[in-house]
Amino acid sequence: MKYGQIRKMDIANGPGIRTSVFVTGCTHHCYNCFNEAYQDPAFGTEWTDAETERIIGYLKDKTIAGLTLLGGEPMQNTEGLIPVLETVRKAVETNIWIYSGYIYEELIKNEDRKKLLSLCDVLVRPSFKDELKDPGLYFRGSSNQRVIDIPRTLASGEAVLLWPDGR
């Protein structure tokens, strides 16, 4: 797995000050994607155990509210991200947000994507739509995107939204 960047402190991709990991590789190719360079799976730096230890160190800082995964497309990086999140979950108590262009129903049909989803707390989905862009929305760029409580959704079988009105 490759990544484009790790932000120790990020305030745009979830509540509070968060650590954000931007993986590379995405086949969605959303129009006006804000991370177009990260669509290329060959772009970026190879992930190693050192990066996992670095983000765990960041997450131990009491000012960090959680971890956010985005990219690129995290759900196209399950092979790399699942072991990272399993290690993070064992090392530190934190909440994990994940952004994906896939809809929830697609994710739960794929064993690896469902596993990655189960290691996270909040899903922001699906792909950004330029024609629905709304800078006033919480933690997402367009009005078609939803912020989903993953544990409650997996338990009930139906999407449980955080901020149903988007603001």
Share of the chain above pLDDT 70, in %: 98
pLDDT at 111: 96
Residue recorded with tokens 């996992």: 52
In a domain, 167, yes or no: no
Number of domains in the chain: 1
- Comparing 39 with 98, the larger pLDDT belongs to 98
Look at residues 94, 97, 136 and name the one whose alpha carbon lies nearest to residue 117.
97
Could you tell me the CATH number of the domain that includes residue 20? Answer: 3.20.20.70
In a domain, 93, yes or no: yes
In a domain, 126, yes or no: yes
What range defines the domain where residue 124 resides?
2-156
pTM over 0.85: yes
In a domain, 6, yes or no: yes
pLDDT at 122: 96
In a domain, 73, yes or no: yes
In a domain, 105, yes or no: yes
Q: β-strand 18-23 against 2-10: which pairing, if any?
A: antiparallel
pLDDT at 33 over 80: no
pLDDT at 20: 98
59-112 pLDDT, tens digit per residue, is 999 999 999 999 999 999 999 999 999 999 999 999 999 999 998 888 999 999
In a domain, 23, yes or no: yes
In a domain, 44, yes or no: yes
pLDDT at 84: 98
d(CA 165, CA 123): 16
- Comparing 109 with 31, the larger pLDDT belongs to 109
Ordered DSSP codes for 34-82 = TTGGGG-TTSSEE--HHHHHHHHHHHTSTT--EEEEESS-GGG-HHHHH
